[in-house]
Amino acid sequence: MERFLVDQMLLRLGRWLRLLGMDVANPENASDSELLQRAIREKRTLVTRDKRLADACRRRQAECILIKASRLDEQLREMAQMGVPLELRPQRCTLCNCILQKVHLAEKATWKCEGCGKLYWEGSHWIDMEKMLEKIRSSKD
């Protein structure tokens, strides 16, 4: 499983990556230098829209993905081009990144975060997310 660190500009993308089963850390108002040090220390790929930060990453020979798009669907497409599968795999909490455990509360698939207790389930929003991912997967570059 890929481990990422998203910068402040890509928090929404980070939440989506968590829904795709990725381990994604948040910056918590860290400076560029702190982000880079954390990415190296935790062996995470830094995901940023900041060209200077991406250049600094490369100079330190750290893994980095420079996202060019501002729209979420285009950002997800860029991540897919980097090898991230666009399939909903709820394994991480979108809020705190802790592990989700499957629970039996209803007839629909339901998960609970081990850290913050947030519940996730396959409701109508799930269908909308699946449609968006399918549209991205089927679109031509």
Q: Please tell me the total count of domains within the chain.
A: 1
Choice between 117 and 29, residue whose per-residue pLDDT is larger? 117
pLDDT of 22: 96
Choice between 56 and 107, residue whose per-residue pLDDT is larger? 56
Least confident of 18-27, 49-58, 104-113: 104-113
**Measured distance CA(65)–CA(78) in Å, rounded:** 9
**Measured distance CA(45)–CA(94) in Å, rounded:** 18
- How deeply is 104 buried, as exposed, middle or buried, from its count of CB atoms within 10 A (0-12, 13-18, 19+)? exposed
pTM (2 d.p.):
0.91
Reply yes or no on whether the pLDDT at 1 is more than 70.
no
Reply yes or no on whether the pLDDT at 27 is more than 90.
no
Domain that holds residue 40: 3-138
Sequence letter at residue 115: G
- How deeply is 111 buried, as exposed, middle or buried, from its count of CB atoms within 10 A (0-12, 13-18, 19+)? buried
pLDDT of 140: 57
Reply yes or no on whether the pLDDT at 65 is more than 80.
yes
Reply yes or no on whether the pLDDT at 78 is more than 80.
yes
pLDDT of 139: 83
